[in-house]
Structure 1
Amino acid sequence: MDEIRQRIRDAVDAKLTTYKDLSAAIGRNHAYVQQFVERGTPQELRQRDAETILGVIDGAGSRPAPRRGFAPVLVPGEQLVRGDRRLPVYAAARGGDGHVIVTFDPVEYVKMPTILESVRGGYGLLITGDSMVPAYWPGDTALIHPSLPAQRDTDVVLYHTPPEPKGGDEAMIKRLVGMSEREWTLQQYQPANIFKEFRADWPVCHRVVGKYNSR
């Protein structure tokens, strides 16, 4: 990891890239890579993230560095999306109060994003309704990682219990702004609202890690 830190530091000093762009390349917040370089992170970079970062640096190093101004980072498409269609996408029927009814029979399979390629049970959820516009428009596909722990200031899909008697699960996609042992604090955008739900009623929380735009 010390060698990786030094290579990142050298590339940034040479203005081949920026900490912000390297963080974006692995889907992290803008300061993540800088924190990793300067003082380490609570959890070191995963091997796949490190390989992605080094690939970006090597690609930038193969071009002459600009003398001044912003140095864009070009991430090859194959580092973001695989060509094979292996990600199942589930449809949802619109329910009340911003809820949807999800039936876990895939309506299609789409190209696998690299962020989910090694994730067991990863899936896409076809968005319906407008409660999360402009973050998600009807027809967008949310990319779901079912194993990540609940985390504040992330988008999540919550599932109700017990399942709907008609064969689907009641769910909702919202912004998780807070949580306690008893409650979720959630945000939606249309209409703007911050509200609470009991965790006992919505016990299953899956993290949204990206999306495919319908437009």
Structure 2
Amino acid sequence: MKTLGERIRYARKARGLVQQQVATHLGIARVNITQWEADQTKPEAKRLPELATLLGVTESWLLSRSGEDPQPAKPGKQADKPVSRIIPGQQLISPEKMPVYAAAQGGDGHVIVSFDAVDYVKRPAELESVRGGYGLLVAGDSMVPAFRGGDMALVNPHLPPSREKNVILYHTPPHGGDVEAIIKQLNGWNDREWHLQQWNPFREFTEFRQEWPICHRVVGRYDAR
């Protein structure tokens, strides 16, 4: 494992992941992972922290093989549950601020969101120029370990739905006042239904799009303070 590409491939296989899973988690095309592993291209420096976390290694190991090699996954063992993307502090570059809204626990895994800002925080790079970008303080534990109560979901309301991404679905349009919402992983959809997943307890289920017409994409997370 003399090259970065060889170490990425080794760590990915040790983690029990296929290239598409890595690409989906990073929000890029699978061909990028193929090119990295073949040492045709290299990942951008800003992607290394997230890539290392996903592969269960350190950045130092990826760059120079410093430390112990990851142990291959046992046959039949799958990788740990994916976690929501954590944005490094150095990417919080915008002097502008965005609103933060609070949620209260409702019934059946739902939350009640109040669109009266409870705080304002610096915009991360992903939302630097996004009009209407916001943060939502998560309530409840249905998405642990991706989100824990008190974590802040960073939301881009303009991105289209995407498979295997965390989203917030709204029962009523979020134009003011209190609205009902759910935060889940979106596994797919059709003309009638959203196909959703939560982690705690693990459950896959569907909701009618007519009842939950608004889908906002989660692009990152701030840990609870």
Q: TM-score, normalising length from structure 1?
A: 0.67
DSSP-derived class of the 2:149 partner:
coil
Percent of paired sites with the same residue: 51
Q: What is the CA–CA distance in structure 1 between the aligned matches of 2:162 and 2:46, rounded to whole Å?
A: 29
1:45-56 matched pairs, under 5 angstroms: 53=44
Offset, 1:84: 3.0
Q: What is the CA–CA distance in structure 1 between the aligned matches of 2:123 and 2:107, rounded to whole Å?
A: 31
The equivalent of 2:80 in structure 1 is none
**Number of equivalent positions:** 178
1:91-110 matched pairs, under 5 angstroms: 91-110=102-121
Q: What is the CA–CA distance in structure 2 between the aligned matches of 1:157 and 1:88, rounded to whole Å?
A: 16
Q: What is the CA–CA distance in structure 2 between the aligned matches of 1:98 and 1:181, rounded to whole Å?
A: 24
The answer to whether the 8 Å contact 2:100/2:135 transfers is yes
Offset, 1:201: 0.4
Q: What is the CA–CA distance in structure 1 between the aligned matches of 2:88 and 2:105, rounded to whole Å?
A: 37
Is the alpha carbon distance of 1:168 and 1:117 closer, same or farther for their aligned partners in structure 2, counting shifts above 3 Å?
same
Offset, 1:103: 1.0
The reply on whether 1:207 has 2:201 as its aligned counterpart is no
Structure 2 residue runs of 5 or longer lacking an equivalent are 10-21, 38-42, 48-60, 65-86
Is the alpha carbon distance of 1:35 and 1:118 closer, same or farther for their aligned partners in structure 2, counting shifts above 3 Å?
farther
The equivalent of 2:180 in structure 1 is 170
1:129-208 matched pairs, under 5 angstroms: 129-161=140-172, 167-208=177-218
The reply on whether 1:33 has 2:32 as its aligned counterpart is yes
Which digits, 9 at most, give the CA deviation of each residue in 1:133-159, with x for residues without a partner? 111011100010101111111100000
Is the alpha carbon distance of 1:104 and 1:211 closer, same or farther for their aligned partners in structure 2, counting shifts above 3 Å?
same
Q: What is the CA–CA distance in structure 2 between the aligned matches of 1:174 and 1:108, rounded to whole Å?
A: 24
DSSP-derived class of the 2:115 partner:
coil
The answer to whether the 8 Å contact 1:159/1:202 transfers is yes
Q: What is the CA–CA distance in structure 1 between the aligned matches of 2:215 and 2:138, rounded to whole Å?
A: 17
The equivalent of 1:112 in structure 2 is 123
Offset, 1:33: 3.4
Q: What is the CA–CA distance in structure 1 between the aligned matches of 2:29 and 2:8, rounded to whole Å?
A: 7
Runs ≥4 residues deviating over 6 A = none
The equivalent of 1:71 in structure 2 is 63
Q: What is the CA–CA distance in structure 2 between the aligned matches of 1:94 and 1:77, rounded to whole Å?
A: 29
Structure 1 residue runs of 5 or longer lacking an equivalent are 1-12, 39-51, 57-68
- Match of 2:62, as an amino acid? F
DSSP-derived class of the 2:32 partner:
helix
Offset, 1:54: 8.1
DSSP-derived class of the 1:105 partner:
strand
DSSP-derived class of the 1:82 partner:
coil
Which digits, 9 at most, give the CA deviation of each residue in 1:61-95, with x for residues without a partner? xxxxxxxx6317xx9854x1126360211001111
Q: TM-score, normalising length from structure 2?
A: 0.64
The equivalent of 2:54 in structure 1 is none
The equivalent of 1:43 in structure 2 is none
CA RMSD of aligned residues (A): 4.0
